Each structure stands twice: as structure tokens, then as C-alpha cells.
Structure 1
Amino acid sequence: MTILWLKALHIFFMVAWMAGIFYLPRLFVYHAQTTDQAVRDQFKIMERRLWLFVTPFAFLTLFFGVALIVTYGLDWLKHSGWLHAKLTLLVGLYAYHFYLLKLLKQFARDENTRSDKFYRILNEAPVLVLLGIVILAVVKPF
């Protein structure tokens, strides 16, 4: 029964984290489009609050994922090729998460040099990574 609770919590926090990962770059799109300083200042507040809100979900996702690995055991980990691929994608997703923090800080200093088109593309990247993670976790192709 413990493993089911760990899975449920892992999935819940992952979904909450992904909601923020999908929305923050969308805020960057709108922020990059505006020239009104009052609107920019409002976006800065929204972006900072969102990043601070979803970051604990990123860590809780990691915590419950590690708890699952520990519960299943190291032998299981060693023989689960799909999990190695999933973990590789996750490293990229966490790097993306902290790259968003770097961009957030640039916006906070009014130092953005990128177009809204850049942020639109950036906004779509985690969708493909999430698709890969879900396929690996559910289908376990190797």
C-alpha cells in the first residue's frame, strides 16, 4: 500500500509542477510583448510568485520519486532501462526549471533581450519532454 501512496503523491506534485512549468514561459511571452512599465512590473510580481509557488512541487516530485526508487530497491533500478532514460529527461527538466529562474531574474532587472517568439518556443519544449517521461513510465519500452 505504501508504494501506491508514494506513486499518487509523486504524480500529484508532478502535475502541479508541470502546470507552473507550462504557465511561466507563457507569462514571459506576454511580458516580452509589453512596453508599458506598469504592466512589466505586474508581470514581475506574477512571475516571481509563480516560480516560488511551483518550485516546492519540483522538490516534492523529486522526493517522492526517490522514495519510490528506494522502495523498489537498487536491483530494480539497475535493471530498469526505461527509468534511466526517464531520469535523463528529468535532469533536463530540472535544468529547464532553473533556466526559467535565470530568465525571471533578467526580466526582474528589465534586461530581457529576447523576443516573444523565443518564449513561445521555450513554452512548448517541456510538453515534448513530459510526453517522453509519461511514455517511459507507463509503457516501459526497455
Structure 2
Amino acid sequence: MEHDEGPVHTLTEAECWDFLTANSLGRIATHVHDVVDIVPVNFYADGSSILFRTAPGSKLLELTINDNVAFEIDGYDDQMGWGVVVKGTAHALDKQSDIAAAEASPLHPWIPTLKQVYVRITPTHITGMRFERGPEPEPDPY
């Protein structure tokens, strides 16, 4: 941990990757002109980038216009909650060697629709936090 602020802990980049590689559902945020979109995607994190599949449509068009994205995952259990935010660039894979490597990954669509375009998010900044769950403390009477 880089910082401990009571029940809130800032995650190191390595800890953020631990959460990313252990999960498979996140949200990608795109921004084109004055429109921000956030959509869920299932993904695969390989420890240095994030891969997801999509079909031609607004998400892919938005990434073509502005490749700067944010990607977020979060979760919780009885003892803690956590969240990781990745900022970076997203590009549809077009080299056959990159597509072949993506096809060999464990990434598969969750819904029965064709998702033939692989998109890789290359991080420029990764942050995360973990927090302990518990009751709210009593306020200081002074």
C-alpha cells in the first residue's frame, strides 16, 4: 500500500493489476465532443493492457474519434470494497499478429452477439483504492 488513511487505502499499481487480472466485467467511458458515454464490457487484463471485444457501432466510432478513455472496475465483500480506474488510449486491433494473439486469449463474449473487433486499452495512468467496511463512527462531541 502506498498510503493508509484510516479505513481507506491507496492501492499500488501492482495491486491495481491484481484486481484487474482477477476480474472480467468493467465499464469503459468515452468522450466525444460534449457527450460522455459509459458502457459495461467484459474484458481480459494481461498485466499490461486491457482487451475487450465489440461490434461496429457507436462505441467503436467514438473510439475512432477520440481514443482517450477511462476504464473502471469495482467490487466489495463483507469486509472491504475496492475500485480501480485506468486512464489510457484504446485502439481496435488491425495487425493480424495482434488479432491472432487476442483470439488466443481467454476473452469470450458474454452475450450471444457477434463481437468481431478486438480493442486494446493501453494504460497511461492507473489508480485504485481499497476501503474497510464498517459502521460509521460516532461524531466528536467537540
TM-score by length of 2: 0.24
Higher relative contact order (CA 8 A, sep 6+): 1
